[in-house]
Amino acid sequence: MYISVMTLTPAQLFQALSDYTRLRSIFLLVREGELCVCELTYALDIIQPKVSRHLALLREMGLVTDQRQGQWVYYRLNPKLPVWAKDVINATIDGAIKQQPYCDDHQALLAMPNRPDAACCA
C-alpha cells in the first residue's frame, strides 16, 4: 500500500523511522543525497535482501523515491515530503549525528571501494 506524501501523518512517519535499519538508512540518504542498495548494504553491514525490504517499505510509505540506472537502483529522500516531516528527520539527524552507529555508518560508506560513481560494486 503506497502512502501519498500529501496524506502522510506523524504516526506513519514515526512508524517508518521506528525501525533501526530504516532510521540508519534515512540518515545515510539525507547525508549523501542518493545511494544505491549496494552502498547501503556495505555501510550498514547487513544483507542486501534486508536492505531492499526496508527500502521498499520506506518507498511505500512515501519517504523515499527510487530511480533505476542500468542494473542499479538508487534511493533518495522524497523531495515532496511535507516540510514538517523534513524538519522532524533533520532534527533527528542533527541530534544524533555524532552518536553510534550513525557516524560509523557514514565512515564505512566513505571507505567503500568501488562506489557507484566509480562503476558501482564491481
Domain residues of the chain, as ranges? Answer: 19-112
Q: Could you tell me the three cell numbers for 44?
A: 550498514
Nine-digit cell at 102? 550513525
**Predicted local confidence at residue 44, as pLDDT:** 97
CA atoms within 13 A on the CB side of 81: 24
Architecture of domain 19-112: Orthogonal Bundle (1.10)
Which strands, in side-by-side order, build the sheet including 64-69? 35-36, 72-77, 64-69
C-alpha cell at 67: 530511480
Residue 76, CA atoms < 13 Å, CB-side half-sphere: 9
Which tens digit of pLDDT belongs to each residue from 31-79?
999 999 999 999 999 999 999 999 999 999 999 999 998 888 899 999 9
CA separation for the pair 103, 109 (Å, rounded): 10
pTM of the model: 0.87
